[in-house]
């Protein structure tokens, strides 16, 4: 099997499982308990928190452990906007993950916020001048992802954050897709979301990094854990697993050039051998695309039918965001790029986390698109 859906999830790394195991078995204490078992759990949690925070340019007190990227995005968007006294205007982009877009619309529906949704360039980039033109004196929050899960576009979040700060607005970025490849840091930003299962940790753990001193309205109330920002008994084992995962980030990022070379061979092979196929998102040569990401549209086919043919040949991948799987609507990301709905529904995304031989994958794509074409899509 060729697994080419790393943007959806990655396998749990062995060293992560080994680090977690003691806290799933004998070291099962509640870190809030005052007895010895609780103290040992608390010590492990404190160490994990410090390690994860440091990996992302933050201090331990600036990290809120969550159940994953979706919760981190919800907490950032709702929590920062509702706690801010500046105003009720928020800015985001049309190609954000649903966790961000739905949170913005929640603020609009239930709290009277007015959103401005920025259109991307045709290759999926958010221009600083477009953001500057959208800002107002009452803008309280700007949220733009660092890298897009469907088209691999990498945003210049440092510049976008500087623009937001010109009017005193806060800046949050969803770095879920970026963390395995790029320098992800709270430095210069106000909040950053990350997710463990995109990096080799289990599903169910992530973090929101929030600049010290910023008020944050919690989504979950109760025991006051996470400094009152997220109540609930902390998941010590998964926090330890997340720490083990970020420990491996330098090695993961070190192979980015080799992965990009494999990606480029895949892109060249598909575009040269599949009539009408085109790449969505930035050109690889632009330096604004994730190394392990190649996404295509195959006009005249059905993306779902191509996926089925690929799976028959041993290639596992997807048409885009796993969170939108099973829906009949075309991708909101591709529509925002100006791609026609009927063409957007022909999309297929290949995402990998290690170098690979592009030849067999190109052959599989050619075979799948040819078969679907013979069947009339």
Count the residues in the chain: 377
Catalytic position from the list 323, 325, 340, 354: 323
What is the distance between the alpha carbons of residues 214 and 201, in angstroms, rounded to a whole number?
Answer: 28
122 and 337 in contact (C-beta within 8 Å)?
Answer: yes
120 and 144 in contact (C-beta within 8 Å)?
Answer: no
Q: Among residues 176, 231, 172, 225, which one has the least CA distance to residue 201?
A: 176
Burial class (CB in 10 A: 0-12, 13-18, 19+), 357: exposed
Strands 63-66 and 206-210: antiparallel
CB atoms within 10 A of CB 265: 17
CA angle, residues 345, 269, 361, in degrees to nearest 5: 75
138 and 114 in contact (C-beta within 8 Å)?
Answer: no
Please tell me the number of Cα atoms within 13 Å of 329 on its side-chain side.
8
Burial class (CB in 10 A: 0-12, 13-18, 19+), 37: middle
Evaluated on CA atoms 45, 48, 52, 58, the torsion sign reads positive
Q: Please state the φ and ψ torsions of residue 349, each to the nearest 5 degrees.
A: -120, 135
What is the distance between the alpha carbons of residues 210 and 5, in angstroms, rounded to a whole number?
Answer: 30
321 and 150 in contact (C-beta within 8 Å)?
Answer: yes
Burial track 312-325 (b if 16+ CB lie within 10 A, e otherwise):
ebebebbbbbeebe
| Active-site residue, 297 included | no
Residues forming the active site: 323
């Amino acid at each position: 099997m060729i697994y080419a859906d790393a943007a959806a999830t990655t396998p749990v790394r062995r060293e992560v499982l080994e680090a977690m195991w003691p806290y799933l078995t004998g070291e099962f204490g509640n870190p809030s308990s005052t007895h010895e078992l609780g103290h040992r759990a608390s010590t492990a949690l404190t160490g994990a928190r410090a390690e994860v925070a440091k990996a992302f340019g933050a201090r331990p007190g600036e990290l809120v452990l969550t159940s994953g990227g979706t919760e981190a995005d919800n907490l950032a968007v709702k929590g920062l906007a509702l706690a801010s006294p500046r105003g009720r205007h928020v800015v985001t982009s049309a190609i954000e993950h649903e966790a961000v877009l739905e949170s913005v619309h929640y603020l609009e529906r239930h709290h009277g916020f007015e959103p401005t949704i920025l259109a991307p360039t045709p290759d999926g980039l958010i221009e600083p001048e477009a953001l500057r033109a959208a800002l107002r004196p009452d803008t309280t929050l700007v949220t733009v992802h660092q890298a897009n899960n469907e088209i691999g576009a990498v945003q210049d979040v440092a510049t976008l954050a500087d623009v937001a700060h010109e009017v005193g607005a806060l800046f949050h970025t969803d770095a879920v897709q970026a963390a395995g490849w790029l320098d992800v840091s709270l430095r210069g930003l106000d909040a950053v979301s990350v997710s463990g299962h995109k990096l080799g940790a289990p599903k169910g753990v992530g973090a929101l990094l929030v600049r010290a001193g910023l008020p944050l309205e919690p989504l979950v109330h109760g025991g006051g854990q996470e400094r009152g920002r997220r109540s609930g008994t902390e998941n010590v084992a998964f926090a330890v697993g997340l720490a083990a995962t970020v420990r491996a980030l330098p090695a993961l990022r070190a192979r980015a050039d080799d992965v990009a070379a494999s990606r480029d061979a895949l892109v060249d092979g598909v575009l040269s051998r599949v009539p009408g196929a085109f790449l969505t998102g930035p050109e690889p040569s632009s330096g604004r695309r994730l190394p392990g990401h190649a996404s295509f549209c195959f006009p005249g086919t059905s993306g779902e039918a191509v996926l089925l043919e690929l799976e028959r040949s041993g290639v596992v991948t997807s048409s885009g965001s796993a969170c939108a799987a099973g829906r009949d609507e075309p991708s909101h990301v591709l529509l925002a790029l100006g791609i026609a709905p009927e063409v957007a529904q022909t999309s297929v995304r290949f995402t990998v986390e290690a170098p690979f031989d592009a030849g067999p994958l190109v052959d599989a794509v050619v075979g799948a698109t040819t078969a679907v074409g013979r069947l009339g899509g």
